[in-house]
Amino acid sequence: MSELAKAILGVMEDVAYVQKGGRVSGGGMNYSFAGEADLLRALRPAMVRRGLALLPVGCAITEHHEVHDGKYGAKQSRTVRCVSTYRLLHASGESVDLQVAGEGQDGGDKATAKALTISLKYALRQAFLIETGDDPDRVRPEGADLSFAEAVEACKALLRAQGCDSAGKATSWLQERSEGQYSAASVESEPFAVLKLIKECLR
């Protein structure tokens, strides 16, 4: 087994779970999340002990568009999608490249930063198989009273009730309430997690 593989396994053994350290409440929103800072705080010491470092080596912007909804065409939001490449290096000289997609939406100039934050967060989570408790689950949760398809339709209905009658509006609403984690596409791929978020925000 390579030294890099041994180091990755060592980090996985050291850090199996990251506690959700962030919380949003008020204004109809009430939910917790594991953010980039929570992952870095848990992983950095373990990575240093195992001789690992992570460096960004490339980023391709795959989509960049603005949504204009105002009476005079005022910009309402900007969406950026990117594919970032990170290099996981070991002190032995071995390395492996990690390629991860990210998406961010913001009413100002933070869309790119949000997309990069999401891609880094998921590069770390996927490289070391970190559980946070907020992983989207395509399998019907134990005790759930909805099927997968029913959960998708429930999400869409609740979003429409909030005035989200387009994918852009749904993405904006979800990203503002999930630290950029969910978008309109998430409704189709991880409806149980999105439905849980929506219900928490509407309490």
Q: What is the tens place of the pLDDT at every residue in 83-121?
A: 999 999 999 999 999 999 988 888 788 889 988 998 998
Residue 189 confidence (pLDDT): 80
Mean pLDDT within 125-151: 67
Question: Cα angle vertex 36, ends 10, 178, to 5°?
Answer: 130
Mean pLDDT within 58-73: 76
Mean pLDDT within 150-161: 88
| Residue ranges of domains in the chain | 141-203
Q: Which residue has the higher pLDDT, 73 or 93?
A: 93
Secondary structure (3-state) at 92: coil
Contact at 8 Å (CB) between 67 and 34?
A: no
Residue type present at position 183: S
Q: Which residue has the higher pLDDT, 28 or 196?
A: 196
pTM of the predicted protein model: 0.61
